[in-house]
Amino acid sequence: MMATNQYILASMIFLFSSFQLYAGENNTSTAKLKAVDRDWEYFRAVPCQDLDKIVVYSDGEKKLLDKRKNECVQQYKAFIPKSAPMQ
């Protein structure tokens, strides 16, 4: 009978310590990620035909994307005649 009580007591101690370990794992601090804007080199490397697929995450990225879109428009303007002949 005494061995059974010791077994139960040991089992309860084990369970209690397991719960404490589990509860302690939940109290750890989590690493917080800081958003970092992509720079001009990133936007400059994106081909003109893929600019509409980019999602911007800040005002700074929006400005860089707009600048890149302007560059693409300027590249294609070279192939557009200044004035079309009237028909």
pLDDT at residue 24 in the model: 52
pLDDT at residue 65 in the model: 96
pLDDT tens, residue by residue, 36-77 = 889 999 999 999 999 999 999 999 999 999 999 999 999 888
Tell me the chain's radius of gyration from C-alpha atoms: 32
Q: Where are the domains of the chain?
A: 34-80
- Give, in degrees to the nearest 5, the angle at Cα 61 between 57 and 44: 130
